[in-house]
């Protein structure tokens, strides 16, 4: 897709961007893009982590709630 993209193309794009936005606004634009990327990365990482239990109580593996849940999902489990 970008196999024909050379240094001259990048230079022309840079000149066009400077003409459109002005040299004084480019640092602010770069800063806002960087902050947006940082927020996006943090949100992606936050979604990958499992959510804690909603009531704040943690169940251990021997609690009746966990045993009932595992028994219903695993029919070969021993009672």
Residue 32 counted as domain residue:
yes
Degrees (nearest 5) of the Cα angle 52, 54, 56?
Answer: 75
What pLDDT does residue 36 have?
Answer: 94
Residue 66 counted as domain residue:
no
The total domain count for the chain is 1
The tokens describing 54, both together, are 């909603």
Containing domain of residue 42, as a range? Answer: 20-48
Distance from chain centroid for Cα 25: 28
What pLDDT does residue 38 have?
Answer: 94
What pLDDT does residue 5 have?
Answer: 84
In whole angstroms, give the CA distance from residue 5 to residue 49: 39
Query: Tell me: the pLDDT tens digits for 4-52?
Result: 888 899 899 988 988 888 888 888 888 999 999 999 999 988 877 766 6
Residue 6 counted as domain residue:
no
Is the per-residue pLDDT at 71 higher than 90?
A: no
Residue 65 counted as domain residue:
no
Residue 39 counted as domain residue:
yes
């Amino acid at each position: 897709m970008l196999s024909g993209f050379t240094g001259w193309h990048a230079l022309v794009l840079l000149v066009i961007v400077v003409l459109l936005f002005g040299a004084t606004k480019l640092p602010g634009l770069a800063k806002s893009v960087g902050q947006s990327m940082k927020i996006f990365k943090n949100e992606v990482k936050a979604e990958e982590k499992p959510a804690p239990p909603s009531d704040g109580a943690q169940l251990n593996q021997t609690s009746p709630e966990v045993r009932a849940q595992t028994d219903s999902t695993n029919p070969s489990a021993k009672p």
